[in-house]
């Protein structure tokens, strides 16, 4: 199999520093101390691919856009070109994919977020070449991504057919302002596999009783630091606490005081105390607890906290399992297994994290 590999090296950089995306914010992300995320996720996927199929033929774009990760994984890729300047762009991604198609690639494996997926789909429009994403963006709404880098390698080596799937994207400026308006950007050929995530859906059902119960418990504790994640369900908890929380960001709360609003990873870590609890809700339709939309909740943050998962019953009814993808495979393994999800003022439901 001939596999074209392209990496968006800046995808996801804005997440841990609170920018909720990197579109138009690369320099600001760097100024805040952001580190690249996607190259390491590319290496994870390609290393697993090399273990499974060391004879796979890789086509790549130069440097951090694919060739470096492929070589680190053990491959000797056929490098067809490289970025046009010091900073990579959507045009570079499109050029890479078009070169892969001209070289008769059987599949395009890309590493990035929804914006990268839209660029790849644009370049593949009119062809029957399938695409598969290694998730590395902050918001990953499209259904063209594997659940994790390792799952992407498994899909590549095991799929037998493809199906049409949606490429979604949102306006990041609206997203930073607390508004989510997913837009269908393309429909692409994607391998059929169980290890793919679903499109982002909005979970229905009322959460008032749930939010009131969680808020009551928080108010009843002293000295415990609560790290309140993004999303409407936890947003209802914030509203019950009477705080002006960030709807799509992470807020830190202790003893009636907001210690950090729309906090970065560093700000969260600086705010933690002796006892800490993350309150987080899974993404509707996908089930991700960590790894989509909340990269500020990094492995370092998670390891210092207990985790409380909350969700409406209707949201859980549409999610067969919960998922995690924290950039730390050891932590992912520790988090997997059965957990109690709070669904009401006192009620809980057992759900499996995979």
Find how far residue 110's CA is from the centre of its chain.
Answer: 14
Closest CA to 26 of 100, 86, 106: 86
Kindly state whether residue 52 falls inside one of the protein's structural domains: yes
Contact between 212 and 189 (Cβ < 8 Å)? no
Residues 60 and 146 in one domain: yes
Could you give the CA distance from residue 186 to residue 177 in angstroms, rounded to a whole number? 25
On whether residue 196 sits in a domain, the answer given is no
* pLDDT tens, N- to C-terminus, the chain (354 residues): 999 999 999 886 655 545 555 555 556 656 676 567 889 999 999 999 999 999 999 999 999 999 999 999 999 999 999 998 878 889 999 999 999 999 999 999 999 988 899 999 999 999 999 999 999 876 677 889 998 999 999 999 999 999 988 888 766 555 545 555 567 788 899 998 876 766 554 444 457 889 989 999 999 999 999 999 999 899 999 999 999 998 889 999 999 999 999 999 999 999 999 999 999 999 888 899 999 889 999 999 999 999 999 998 888 888 889 999 999 999 999 999 989 899 887 788 889 998
| CATH number of the domain where residue 161 is located | 3.40.50.10330
CA dist 52 and 12 (Å) reads 27
pLDDT digits (tens, 9 = 90+) for 328-353: 999 999 999 989 899 887 788 889 99
Cα–Cα distance, 302 to 290 (Å, whole number): 9
Cβ atoms within 10 Å, residue 162? 18
Burial status of residue 7 (CB atoms within 10 A of its CB: 0-12, 13-18, 19 or more): buried
Cα separation, 192 vs 161, in Å, equals 6
Which one of 160, 191, 222 terminates a domain? Answer: 191
In a domain, 69, yes or no: yes
With respect to residue 337, please indicate whether it lies within any of the assigned structural domains. yes
Q: How far apart are CA 209 and CA 215, in angstroms?
A: 10
Q: Would 197 be classed as within a structural domain?
A: no
Q: Please check whether residue 64 lies inside any domain of the structure.
A: yes
CA angle 60, 63, 69 (to 5 degrees): 65
Domain check: are 96 and 172 in the same one?
A: yes
pTM of the model: 0.64
The string of pLDDT tens digits covering residues 128-143 is: 999 999 998 766 778 8
Identify which of 117, 120, 252 has the alpha carbon closest to the alpha carbon of residue 196. Answer: 117
Residue 271 shares a structural domain with residue 165: no
**What is the span of the domain harbouring residue 53?**
2-191
| Angle at 222 (CA atoms; ends 218, 228), nearest 5 degrees | 40
Number of domains forming the structure of the chain: 2
């Amino acid at each position: 199999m001939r596999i074209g590999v392209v990496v968006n090296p800046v995808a996801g950089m804005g997440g841990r520093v609170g920018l909720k995306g990197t579109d138009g914010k690369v320099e600001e992300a760097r100024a805040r101390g952001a580190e690249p995320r996607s190259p390491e996720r590319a290496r994870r996927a390609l290393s697993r691919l090399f273990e499974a199929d060391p004879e796979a033929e890789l086509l790549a774009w130069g440097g951090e856009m694919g060739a470096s990760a492929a070589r680190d994984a053990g491959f000797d890729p056929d490098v067809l070109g490289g970025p046009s300047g010091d900073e990579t762009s959507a045009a570079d991604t499109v050029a890479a994919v078009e070169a892969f198609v001209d070289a008769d690639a059987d599949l395009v494996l890309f590493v990035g977020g929804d914006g990268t997926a839209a660029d790849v789909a644009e370049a593949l429009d009119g062809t029957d070449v399938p695409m598969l994403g290694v998730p590395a963006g902050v918001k990953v709404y499209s259904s063209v991504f594997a659940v994790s880098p390792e799952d992407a390698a498994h899909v590549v080596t095991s799929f037998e057919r493809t199906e049409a799937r949606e490429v979604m994207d949102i306006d990041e400026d609206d997203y930073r302002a607390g508004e989510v308006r997913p837009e269908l950007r393309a429909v692409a050929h994607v391998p059929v596999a169980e290890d793919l995530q679903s499109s982002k859906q909005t979970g229905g059902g009322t959460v008032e009783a749930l939010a009131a119960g969680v808020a009551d418990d928080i108010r009843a504790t002293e000295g415990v630091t609560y790290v309140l994640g993004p999303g409407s369900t936890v947003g209802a908890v914030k509203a019950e606490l009477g705080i002006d929380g960030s709807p799509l960001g992470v807020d830190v709360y202790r003893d009636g005081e907001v210690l950090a609003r729309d906090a970065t990873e560093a700000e969260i870590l600086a705010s933690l105390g002796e006892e800490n609890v993350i309150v987080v809700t899974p993404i509707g339709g996908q089930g991700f607890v960590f790894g989509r939309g909340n990269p500020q909740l990094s492995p370092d943050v998670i390891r210092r906290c207990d985790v409380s998962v909350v969700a409406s019953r209707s949201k859980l009814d549409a999610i067969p399992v919960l998922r995690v993808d924290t950039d730390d495979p050891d932590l992912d393994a520790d988090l997997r297994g059965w957990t109690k999800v709070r669904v009401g003022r006192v009620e809980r439901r057992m759900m499996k994290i995979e």
